[in-house]
Amino acid sequence: MATVDLLERIESYDKPWCYQYDRKLQLYNVEKERLGWTDEEIENINLNDFVFEYVDSKKDKQEVGEFVKKFEWLGTIPNYPTHWFRGTYKGEMMCAVIMSMPNSFSKIMGEGSDKIERLVARGCSHPFCPKNIGSKFLSWCCKWMVNNTQYRVFYGYSDSAAKELGTIYQSLNWFFLGHNSGGTVKCINPYDSTKVVSDRIFRCRSFYKHYAKDLGIEWQKNWNDDTKMLWENMPDDIEKKLRDYSKEMFAKAEKIKVKPKGKYAFVLGRNKKETRQLRKKFLELNKIYEYPKERGK
């Protein structure tokens, strides 16, 4: 989710580097004043002194979320976050990754793909972080996921409008699936005119709750769980009203044209044998493209 103001700024962005790097430059002196670190201390930050960890408590997730809102260029939390990670240096949070359910499930690995895929929805680092922090941290996060969950396929997007190439994904040898992802139309959020959303959100449980309120329908707890709608628990007439209203809201929502995104994928098993098997299947089912080299194209 982005904001109207952010899209306007991106539209006129003309610097040679990506918008995320520009965000770091904007915050460098702000953070230097906040932390009171000297130039020498910043220059001597060693990547080997970082501590990476998965966090699960509400308090830790909130802290990761606030870090992402401050340092990641979108400044928002993804719609369906599932796994939260942070990297610290001498007790100070210095990087964060949030993984989520994909924007839309695929059959990129055939039937059952949805059971093993996750999206790297947000990732950012502090302006003082040394080179290669992004690749080392993301690699650690993916390995943690493979060793502790059922997930084996990870996605990431590069936004050409923000002059992203997917440099970190390329450095880790992720597969590039082309520059046609994410759709070319976004909508102004009908419940918050400052936010821009995808068409998918009009079919999300949070929006169905909005629709129910608009229509004077009292929401029942068994109509959804933590991830999806449970239509089988809802009366047929109410389901029809909500689905019809969803189509109506999308049809009349103000639309904004956006550039499609580049899509990267990474496939990893718990051991070399599983990795070979999964990657063989992935390459049989998907077309791989050469990495893009020019920003904004």
Is pLDDT above 70 for 1? no
CB under 8 Å to 61, separation ≥6 — which residues?
55, 81, 84
Is pLDDT above 80 for 8? no
Distance CA 175, CA 258 (A): 24
Confidence band (pLDDT; 50, 70, 90) for 103? confident
Two tokens at 180?
A: 């046609």
Is pLDDT above 70 for 129? yes
How many residues belong to the chain? Answer: 297
Global pTM value: 0.85
Residue labelled with tokens 């719609």: 79
Q: State mean pLDDT over 46-56.
A: 97
Among 191, 192, 180, CA closest to 4: 192
Q: State mean pLDDT over 81-107.
A: 92
Question: How much is the pLDDT for 297?
Answer: 67
Domains of the chain (ranges; CATH) run 2-184+258-285 (3.40.630.30), 187-254 (no CATH)
Two tokens at 195?
A: 């936010």
Is pLDDT above 80 for 51? yes
Distance CA 130, CA 136 (A): 11
Question: How much is the pLDDT for 246?
Answer: 97
Among 245, 250, 189, CA closest to 214: 245
Distance CA 83, CA 90 (A): 23
215-260 tens-digit pLDDT: 999 999 999 997 789 999 999 999 999 999 999 999 999 998 878 8
With the C-alpha atoms ordered 208, 212, 215, 220, is the resulting torsion angle positive or negative? positive
Question: How much is the pLDDT for 106?
Answer: 79
Is pLDDT above 80 for 7? no
Question: How much is the pLDDT for 10?
Answer: 76
Question: How much is the pLDDT for 6?
Answer: 78
209-227 tens-digit pLDDT: 999 999 999 999 999 997 7
101 vs 218, more confident: 218
**Quick one: how far is CA 66 from the chain centroid?**
15
Question: How much is the pLDDT for 4?
Answer: 65
Q: Is 252 helix (H, G, I), strand (E, B) or coil?
A: helix
Question: How much is the pLDDT for 81?
Answer: 93
Distance CA 112, CA 285 (A): 14
166-191 tens-digit pLDDT: 999 999 999 999 988 776 788 889 99
192 vs 264, more confident: 264
Distance CA 127, CA 183 (A): 31
Is pLDDT above 70 for 75? yes
- Residue pair 239/246 in contact (Cβ under 8 Å)? The answer is no
Distance CA 285, CA 124 (A): 31
